[in-house]
Amino acid sequence: MTMFYGVAYCVLGTAMITVFVLFFREGWLLGKDIKLLYKEEKEGRRCQN
What is the DSSP annotation of 3-49? HHHHHHHHHHHHHHHHHHHHHHHHHHHHHHHHHHHHHHHHHHHHHH-
Residue 42 in domain: yes
Residue 33 in domain: yes
Number of domains in the chain: 1
Residue 8 in domain: no
Residue 1 in domain: no
Measured between alpha carbons, how far is 33 from 20 in angstroms, rounded to an integer?
Answer: 20
Domain that holds residue 34: 20-49
Mean pLDDT of 21-38: 85
Residue 32 in domain: yes
Q: Label residue 15 by pLDDT band (50, 70, 90).
A: very high
User: What is the pTM for the complete model shown?
Assistant: 0.47
Residue 45 in domain: yes
